Structure 1
Amino acid sequence: MDVIFETQKGKPFSIEVGFFDTVLEIKEKIHKYHGIPIPHQTLIFNGNVLQDDRDVEYCEILQNSRIQLLVSSDSDTSNSTKQPQPNAAAADHQLPSPAKNAQLNSNTPSSNTVVPSETDVNDNPKKLKLLVLPKCGTKKIPVEVNATDNVSELRKELQKLHQRLQFHLPQEGYFFIYKQNVMDDDRSFRWHQVGQGDTIEIFNGSVTGGS
């Protein structure tokens, strides 16, 4: 059966795949026919990043299904291989109590630390200076957010900057990619392990969760 692949640049193309082909075998066909290296490919279907060991049947890919193909650079690929899993990110970076916040943000010994209230902690969230890269342009847009903000806050900041800087922002919806992973609007930048000065890419379209 034929499956259609949509890229950010260039026209969509179709490739014939088998019902029991794995995602890795599909990537091998894309490499064979279109010359895109396998490590640089990320396939997204129904809002989910497809894992190499899953097959077409498991992913519920059908005739004329449309799959988004994201192509990363060498630097993005090398960085992504070192990226811990999201669950590990949540465990390592979520601060479960105000006391832990106080220890991390204070130079005094923990025994002498005055534990702040939740309000005090949230009044001084860590600031992150990020770079946002629109796919239709080469200029990165500097944006400042709080580490504890949800990704949805980035959309509001971009809307404000868009009016002033007049850069290209997709009109029919877009989503964010960080180190080859689709970002969840309802998760914080800290949960995604976004660091100071990191780059977040904008991709046209929308990502919807599976059932």
Structure 2
Amino acid sequence: MRLIIVAGGQEFAVEVGDREPVLEIKKRIEQFLGCPVSGQTLSICGWELVDGLDLEDYPIVTAGTKIDLTVKPPPVAFNHRGKIQITVKFSCRHLNIEVDKTETVRSLKEKIHIMDGTPIKRLSLFHSGVELEDDFRNLSEYGISEFSEVVVFLKTMNRLRDEPPARKLSIVVQTSSSLLNAASIPVEIKDCGTVNDLRQMLLDGKILPQDDYLFIHKQRIMRDNCSLRWHGVENGDSLYVFKGTVSSSEY
């Protein structure tokens, strides 16, 4: 079928198969426009198409559908040596920050405080599922490099030993149309439970058939070994489940 890619006020058509992976579409766009796959975001009505999924996972995509293309600009050429661009992600917003490779975790927290106003003592930072616990270690020691993503978790003011008490969440697991006919499954689970815990709960209860699954929260693929709290899941949120697996490089 033919899809219409909309970028910068211009449109062009691409021919794709019904089961075309989203990542393959991005590769075609790279060949056509020259913009790197890593810098592309494809979306429909604000809903991001995730690299680890196929078009058949998005029933909204049909012949003639217009897909918005957003391209992340390359790093500015005048960035002097030693500076890197990173993205700091809150649950509902993000900041693009320039930092020095030798900066400490504390220095990054101070920059976030200046730009966002969040008190430093409430900031708990994570990179690739690992908490940046030592304020005096360099960012590079935690593997942070150009275009890395740092996730912010806001501590509660009465947090005991820097770890808030576990809360029970009432959430909805929403399946795709090809899985249980787009069922909505209410689930109760503690926010300290991991995505693996949630998956096992659904499998043990025979709510989902035995298979490999990935979960999506707010248009982002969730990490198996990270807690729902780490992902910013709140009471009443919906998680979307699809059949399949995703390699670590696709997170």
TM-score, with normalisation over the residues of structure 1? 0.52
Structure 1 distance, partners of 2:41, 2:172, is: 32
1:21 and 2:21 correspond = no
1:129 and 2:190 correspond = no
1:37 and 2:51 correspond = no
Q: Equivalent residue for 2:200? A: 156
Partner letter of residue 140 of structure 1?
S
Structure 2 distance, partners of 1:193, 1:95, is: 17
1:197-208 alignment runs, 5 A limit: 197-208=236-247
Partner letter of residue 91 of structure 1?
F
- The match for 1:11 among 10, 19, 24 is 19
8 Å Cα contact 1:129-1:197 kept in structure 2:
yes
- The match for 2:213 among 174, 177, 192 is 174
**Structure number having the greater strand percentage:** 2
By how many angstroms is 1:26 displaced? 7.7
Secondary structure of 2:183's aligned partner: coil
Q: Deviations over 1:135-184 (max 9, x none)?
A: 1223211111111111110011101232xxxx554x44110000101001
Q: Equivalent residue for 1:188? A: 227
Partner letter of residue 193 of structure 2?
D
**Structure number having the greater helix percentage:** 1
- The match for 1:91 among 137, 145, 153 is 153
Structure 2 distance, partners of 1:96, 1:18, is: 49
Partner letter of residue 182 of structure 2?
T
Instruction: Indicate how the Cα distance of structure 1 residues 43 and 141 shifts in structure 2: closer, same or farther if over 3 A, else same.
Output: closer
Instruction: Indicate how the Cα distance of structure 1 residues 204 and 22 shifts in structure 2: closer, same or farther if over 3 A, else same.
Output: same
Secondary structure of 2:199's aligned partner: helix
Unmatched tracts of structure 1, length 5 or more: 28-35, 56-80, 105-120
Q: Equivalent residue for 2:135? A: none
Flag the structure with more relative contact order, 1 or 2, with Cα contacts below 8 A and sequence separation at least 6: 1
Q: What percentage of aligned pairs have identical amino acids? A: 22
8 Å Cα contact 1:17-1:26 kept in structure 2:
no
Unmatched tracts of structure 2, length 5 or more: 1-13, 54-69, 75-89, 95-124, 127-149
Instruction: Indicate how the Cα distance of structure 1 residues 183 and 4 shifts in structure 2: closer, same or farther if over 3 A, else same.
Output: farther
RMSD: 4.1
TM-score, with normalisation over the residues of structure 2? 0.45
Instruction: Indicate how the Cα distance of structure 1 residues 190 and 93 shifts in structure 2: closer, same or farther if over 3 A, else same.
Output: farther
Partner letter of residue 237 of structure 2?
D
Aligned residues: 144
